[in-house]
């Protein structure tokens, strides 16, 4: 109990104030200056020079439009001679911050609703009607089973389905890609950015770019780093992939536009930086369901009014435009905050040296006597003398 009262009395009725002790020690002095220099290097080099701690920052607000161009032709037994332009291979015509270019496809022509044999598989092959369940429709089925086992060809029988007939057979994907010439198609990317905090806006078609230049330039990291027109094959190659491989099975590519702007400098120094990467990177050790594809159909009616459709399983490359960055401009508030933080950090040198001097050095007890001095209350001492 007495110990607790003594601690409480010391807490309430004692006051400590720093005492300056000059220690003439080369070791301690050198350590103190070294720590101070490291802190100054951090504050000046990292906080102010590298991180620009004297600036207020803002994140980019962006809008993107993409326009594809390119024409090619094919000549196959199924489709014959055919010209392919933007309206044929860009699906859909407009997307938000992305564009899909069809490069390969499995096409099933002249489908009508009716009854036909299913594609042979583990669950569709049969010998008799007993092997087929009427009304069943699995997730991978082309239609609803009728319960009948019918001939698929001269040697195989499969369960009959009510479906769009003939059903699609996508077991063989064209190789090389059906539209392999798509590597020479181009994308014009228009990007407008805005930093609302500074009311600063700009676009990636820079003021020095003329109409004549825009009609002839193709992006190249060395010769034309600010041209906003990109060749598809070059985008894929810059990401470290083969265009023909990704065109065959489909994939997703990212066109990254980085805007890091120092608004303490002229606006002409605020420039876009382009980079490319594949967003659906394949794992060669786990190559299940690779690529990117989807289905769509084109419907029409014959002269008798019967409905038909052409089903297309489209493989292709989706290009996602990813815009990011930040802008900075001088502001007194972050400057003063970081200066104050730097000055506070200088106190670390004193704390570190105190710990070493008072607890680690051989003469630590001697230094403690010089560092700490206990003083009795003058008024209390004078009162005791008068009582005597």
Domain coordinates of the chain in residue numbers? 25-54+331-380, 59-118+167-329
End-to-end CA distance of the chain: 31
On average, the pLDDT of the chain sits at: 88
Position 298 scores a pLDDT of 93
Q: Is the pLDDT of residue 368 over 90?
A: no
Retrieve residue 316's tokens: 């292709």
Mean pLDDT over 116-137 rounds to 90
Q: Is the pLDDT of residue 386 over 60?
A: no
- Domain 59-118+167-329: which CATH number of 3.20.20.10, 3.30.210.10, 2.60.490.10, 3.30.365.10: 2.60.490.10
Position 121 scores a pLDDT of 87
- Smallest Cα–Cα separation from 347: which of 25, 35, 28? 35
Q: Could you tell me if residue 117 is left (phi over 0), alpha (psi between -120 and 50 degrees) or otherwise beta?
A: beta
Position 378 scores a pLDDT of 53
Mean pLDDT over 94-108 rounds to 93
Q: Is the pLDDT of residue 287 over 80?
A: no
* 295 has binding-site annotation: yes
* 186 has binding-site annotation: yes
Which architecture, in CATH terms, is 25-54+331-380? Orthogonal Bundle (1.10)
Mean pLDDT over 293-304 rounds to 92
Confidence of residue 296 (pLDDT cuts 50, 70, 90): very high
Confidence of residue 198 (pLDDT cuts 50, 70, 90): very high
* 239 has binding-site annotation: no
Position 325 scores a pLDDT of 94
* 68 has binding-site annotation: yes
* 313 has binding-site annotation: yes
Q: Is the pLDDT of residue 32 over 80?
A: yes
Mean pLDDT over 139-151 rounds to 91
Q: What is the 3-state secondary structure (H, E, C) of the chain?
A: CHHHHHHHHHHHHCCCCCCCCCCCCHHHHHHHHHHHHHHHHHHHHHHHHHCCCCEEEEECEEEEEEEEECCEEEEECCCEEEEECHHHHECCCCCCCEEEEEEEEEEEEEEEEEEEECCCCCCCECCCHHHCCCCCCCCCCCCEEEEEEEECCCCCEEEEEEEEECCCCCCCCCCCCCCHHHHHCEEEEEEEEEECCCCEEEECCCCCCCHHHHHHCCCECCCECCCCEEEHHHHHHHCCCCHHHHHHHCEEEEEEEEEEEECCCCHHHCCCEEEEEECCCCCCCCCCCCCCEEEEEEEEECCCCCEEEEEEEEEEEEEEEEEEEEEEEECHHHHHHHHHHHHHHHHHHHHHHHHHHHHCCCCHHHHHHHHCCCCCCHHHHHHHHHHC
Q: What is the pLDDT of residues 55-70, one digit of tens each?
A: 899 999 999 999 999 9
Position 24 scores a pLDDT of 78
Q: Is the pLDDT of residue 285 over 80?
A: no
* 192 has binding-site annotation: no
Position 364 scores a pLDDT of 78
- Please state, for a pLDDT cut of 70, what percent of the chain lies above it: 90
What is the rounded CA–CA span in Å between residue 20 and residue 18?
Answer: 7
What is the rounded CA–CA span in Å between residue 14 and residue 28?
Answer: 31
Position 114 scores a pLDDT of 94
Q: What is the pLDDT of residues 81-98, one digit of tens each?
A: 999 999 999 999 888 899
Mean pLDDT over 300-304 rounds to 90
Q: Which of 22-26, 47-51, 341-345 has the lowest mean pLDDT?
A: 22-26
Retrieve residue 228's tokens: 């906003």
Retrieve residue 140's tokens: 């991978």
Q: What is the pLDDT of residues 232-260, one digit of tens each?
A: 999 999 998 899 989 999 999 999 999 99
Same fold yes or no, 25-54+331-380 and 59-118+167-329 = no
Q: How far out from the chain centre does Cα 83 lie?
A: 36
Q: Is the pLDDT of residue 295 over 70?
A: yes
Mean pLDDT over 101-115 rounds to 94
């Amino acid at each position: 109990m007495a110990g607790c009262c003594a601690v409480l009395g010391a807490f309430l009725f004692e006051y400590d104030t720093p005492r300056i002790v000059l220690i003439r020690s080369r070791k301690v002095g050198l350590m103190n200056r070294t720590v101070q220099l490291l802190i100054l290097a951090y504050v000046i080099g990292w906080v102010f020079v590298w991180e620009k701690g004297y600036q207020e920052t803002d994140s980019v607000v962006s809008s993107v439009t993409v326009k594809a161009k390119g024409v090619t032709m094919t000549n196959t037994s199924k489709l014959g001679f055919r010209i392919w332009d933007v309206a044929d291979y860009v699906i859909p015509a407009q997307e938000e911050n992305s564009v899909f270019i069809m490069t390969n496809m499995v096409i099933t022509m002249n489908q009508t609703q009716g009854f036909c044999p299913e594609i042979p598989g583990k669950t569709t092959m049969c010998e008799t009607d007993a092997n087929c369940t009427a009304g069943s429709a699995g997730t991978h089925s082309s239609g609803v089973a009728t319960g009948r086992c019918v001939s698929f060809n001269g040697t195989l029988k499969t369960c009959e389905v009510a479906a769009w007939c003939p059903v699609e057979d996508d077991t063989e994907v064209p190789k090389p890609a059906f539209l392999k010439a798509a590597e020479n198609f181009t994308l014009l990317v228009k990007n407008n950015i805005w930093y609302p905090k500074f009311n600063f806006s700009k676009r990636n078609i820079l003021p020095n770019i003329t109409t004549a230049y825009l009609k002839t330039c193709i992006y190249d990291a060395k010769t034309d780093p600010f041209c906003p027109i990109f060749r598809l094959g070059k985008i894929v190659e810059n990401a470290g992939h083969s265009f023909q491989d990704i065109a065959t099975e489909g994939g997703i590519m990212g066109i990254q536009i980085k805007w890091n702007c120092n608004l303490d400098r002229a606006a002409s120094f605020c420039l876009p930086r382009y980079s490319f990467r594949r967003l659906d990177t394949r794992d060669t050790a786990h190559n299940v369901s690779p690529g990117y594809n989807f289905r769509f159909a084109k419907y029409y009616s014959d002269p008798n009014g019967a409905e038909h459709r052409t089903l297309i399983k489209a493989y292709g490359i989706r290009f996602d435009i990813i815009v990011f960055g930040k802008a900075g401009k001088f502001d007194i508030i972050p400057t003063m905050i970081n200066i104050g933080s730097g000055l506070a950090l200088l106190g670390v040198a004193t704390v570190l040296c105190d710990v070493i001097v008072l607890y680690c050095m051989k003469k630590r007890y001697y230094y403690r006597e010089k560092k700490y001095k206990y003083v009795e209350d003058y008024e209390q001492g004078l009162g005791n003398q008068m009582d005597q």
